[in-house]
Structure 1
């Protein structure tokens, strides 16, 4: 008898929150995410599937998200995070 394993179906999402308080302001689903690129960008190990929440803090992270996903981040007004949802 063999045990089959599978990767969970997930989607990566950028969510942004009010800088003062914790109100969710918006979200954008990211399509065609290259996980190894995200792992490198957020400095996580290659065996980490990045199911947690990761703050977008550095210029490099912000620039990558904006260019790769055609999405402008207003870091003066909001706090941004890469999150993962099961689908």
Structure 2
């Protein structure tokens, strides 16, 4: 199971970019997003500015919330 951050245009709602996140344990994402340990996190989870700090620090993802919205998604 892998996670990715997806980036969508606020104006057109089109997918702009995807950032794969390798090696991130499910338990870390559950903790970051306040999900219970039994939640497999199959849905999309909005990334706000507070959560973005984690992804910027550990993965170097630059966020621009004025132009884009971001989500955490899981893919297999």
Give the TM-score, by structure 2 length.
0.89
Q: Matched residue pairs, number?
A: 76
- Unaligned runs of 5+ residues in structure 2 are none
Give the TM-score, by structure 1 length.
0.79
Deviations 1:4-56 (A, max 9, x none): xxxxxx22111000112320011011011122121111111011111110000
Q: 1:1-87 residue pairs with structure 2 within 5 A?
A: 10-59=1-50, 61-86=51-76
Query: What is the Cα-based RMSD across aligned positions, in Å?
Result: 1.2
Runs of 4+, deviation exceeding 2 Å: none
Higher radius of gyration, 1 or 2: 1
Deviations 1:44-85 (A, max 9, x none): 1011111110000141x1101111112111112100000011
- Unaligned runs of 5+ residues in structure 1 are 1-9
